[in-house]
């Protein structure tokens, strides 16, 4: 046996153990006083900046650390130990997933707002029904594995009886904002997004609102994580998001009461 190789292997094992210990220490580090670690979908960035800034005015010591990504991606990060206090998903599916994993207590789950699924594209495109989508060449949707709007789109296509005709025409995006960008730049003929994202478009316009009976419509849902239950500021912000003031701001940005 080569003693140098044995020593080298032992050192590698020690270094690996130290790195794992350091990683666990970092992810286990408690939030500083006033620090709120918020995770939400990309499309909520603008309204959450307004809501968090308003909250800070009433709570000057509050500091937000925000992470934005597709709902499923964020849920996996939380499951793997990411230090998140408050999670907002564009549906109930991923919140329920974390609840079943014991990472969210049912007491700390509440509706955030409602939204619609719409088709957006260049103003010259005409969509009068779901069947008109079959005339298009490229349609962008969020990856249904992670993006709730993409999952709703697939369900709506199937229930409208047009899924087979759209095979090969769908362009998967990493999140809802990339989906909107594709419509804005005409990289696709149309994109499926939430109403709230569509309202921010500068070039593309809303071509069609997907009928509610074609997909399972659930509210955007927020939850304080198990880690966040020890953070009084995160729980106070959770309560603020249910206040009349917060609801009025959400409506201003296109979110629906139902």
Question: What average pLDDT does this structure show over 141-155?
Answer: 96
Answer yes or no: is pLDDT of 103 > 90: yes
Is pLDDT of 226 > 90? yes
CATH architecture of 117-214: 3-Layer(aba) Sandwich (3.40)
Which residues make Cβ contacts (< 8 Å) with residue 231, sequence separation at least 6?
Answer: 31, 35, 36, 85, 224
> pLDDT at position 193, please?
97
Which whole number is the average pLDDT over 215-219?
A: 96
> What is the average per-residue pLDDT within 210-227?
97
Per-residue pLDDT band at 209 (split at 50, 70, 90): very high
Q: Would you list the DSSP string of the chain?
A: --HHHHHHHHHHHHHHHHHHHHHHHHHHPPPPTTEEEEEE-GGGHHHHHHHHHHHHHHSTT-EEEEEE--HHHHHHHHHTT---SEEEESSSHHHHHHHHTTSEEEEEEEEEEB--EEEEE-TT---SSGGGGGG-S-EEEE-TTT-HHHHHHHHHHHHTT-HHHHTTTEEEESSHHHHHHHHHTTSSSEEEEEHHHHTT-SS-EEEEEPPGGGS----EEEEEETTGGG-HHHHHHHHHTTSHHHHHHHHHTT-B--
Q: Which residue has the tokens 């593309």?
A: 204
Confidence of residue 34 (pLDDT cuts 50, 70, 90): confident
pLDDT for 23 equals: 44
pLDDT at 238 over 80: yes
The residues facing 117 across adjacent strands are 194
Domain residue spans of the chain: 31-114+219-252, 117-214
**Is it the case that residue 48 has pLDDT exceeding 60?**
yes
Residue 109 bridge partners (DSSP): 223
Share of the chain above pLDDT 70, in %: 87
Q: Do domains 31-114+219-252 and 117-214 have the same CATH topology?
A: yes
Q: Indicate the fold that domain 31-114+219-252 takes in CATH.
A: D-Maltodextrin-Binding Protein; domain 2 (3.40.190)
Please state, in angstroms and as integers, the Cα–Cα distance from residue 182 to each residue in 12, 201, 206, following that order. Answer: 46, 11, 14
Q: Which segment of 23-32, 62-71, 192-201 scores lowest on mean pLDDT?
A: 23-32
Higher per-residue pLDDT: 96 or 16: 96
pLDDT of residue 14: 54
């Amino acid at each position: 046996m080569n003693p140098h190789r044995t020593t080298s292997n032992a050192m590698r094992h020690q270094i690996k153990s130290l790195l794992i210990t350091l990683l666990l220490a970092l992810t286990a580090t408690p939030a500083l006083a006033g620090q709120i670690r918020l995770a939400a979908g990309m499309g909520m960035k603008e309204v959450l900046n307004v809501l968090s800034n308003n909250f800070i005015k009433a709570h000057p010591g509050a500091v937000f650390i925000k992470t934005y990504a597709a709902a499923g991606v964020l849920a996996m990060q939380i499951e793997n130990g990411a230090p998140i206090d408050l999670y907002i998903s564009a549906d109930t599916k991923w919140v329920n997933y974390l609840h079943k994993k014991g990472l969210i207590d049912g007491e700390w789950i509440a509706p955030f707002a409602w939204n619609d699924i719409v088709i957006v594209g260049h103003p010259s495109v005409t969509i009068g029904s779901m069947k008109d989508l079959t005339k298009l060449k490229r349609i962008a949707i969020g990856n249904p594995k992670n993006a709730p709007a993409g999952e709703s789109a697939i369900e709506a296509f199937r229930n409208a009886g047009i899924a087979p005709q759209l095979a090969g025409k769908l362009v998967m995006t990493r999140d809802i904002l990339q989906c909107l960008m594709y419509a804005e730049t005409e990289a696709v003929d149309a994109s499926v997004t939430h109403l709230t994202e569509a309202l921010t478009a500068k070039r593309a316009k809303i071509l069609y609102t997907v009928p509610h009976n074609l997909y399972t419509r659930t509210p955007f849902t927020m939850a304080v994580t198990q880690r966040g239950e020890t953070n009084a500021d995160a729980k106070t912000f959770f309560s603020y998001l249910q206040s009349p003031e917060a609801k009025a701001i959400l409506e201003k940005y296109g979110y629906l009461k139902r």
